[in-house]
Amino acid sequence: MKTRQFAITMVLAGSVFSVPALGQPQDESGLASLDANSDGVISRQEAANAQVKVFHRLDGNSDGVLGADELKASQPQPDADADRRVKRARAKALDQWFSNLDTDAGGTISLAEYQAGMTPYFDRLDTNGDGVIDGRELKSAYGSDRNDSR
């Protein structure tokens, strides 16, 4: 189901787990890189710290805000043979993601807007609501989009 797939792409885009590539899912190996204190789970603080890093990586001209062009520049070039509809849908998803985060509609995303926009993604991944994301939650989020390891 396409919609679901894009919903997950959005989760990837919005989450700190897809640095900074839309549609390039990382598997649960992403956990280790985010789990700064190696307790096996990602806390809100760890996610927030990672978001700051991602934000600065995305901020190509280092002016402290993200422009749509910076976001686009961070995306991998689509395969030449990729379906045109897929490319268009991905571009649209990117635009939508951008405008969702740009809550003051100023045309740029500040760090505060970015982090505010990320919170729902964290909550969505934290399916049991215990305030941390564990490997199983991460896996089930990605497992629904990918069929490997089973």
Give the residues lining the site for Ca ion (CB under 5 A): 35, 37, 39, 46, 59, 61, 63, 126, 128, 130
In whole angstroms, how close is the CB of 85 to Ca ion at the nearest point?
30
In whole angstroms, how close is the CB of 57 to Ca ion at the nearest point?
11
Start-to-end C-alpha separation, the chain: 20
CA pair distance 37, 100, nearest whole angstrom:
31
Q: What is the distance of C-alpha 17 from the center of its chain?
A: 6
Q: Which is closer to Ca ion, CB of 5 or CB of 33? A: 33
In whole angstroms, how close is the CB of 2 to Ca ion at the nearest point?
28
In whole angstroms, how close is the CB of 131 to Ca ion at the nearest point?
7
127 by DSSP, 3-state: which? coil
CA pair distance 119, 101, nearest whole angstrom:
11
Q: Which is closer to Ca ion, CB of 59 or CB of 102? A: 59
- Among 148, 126, 122, smallest CA distance to 27 is for 148
Q: Which is closer to Ca ion, CB of 29 or CB of 147? A: 29
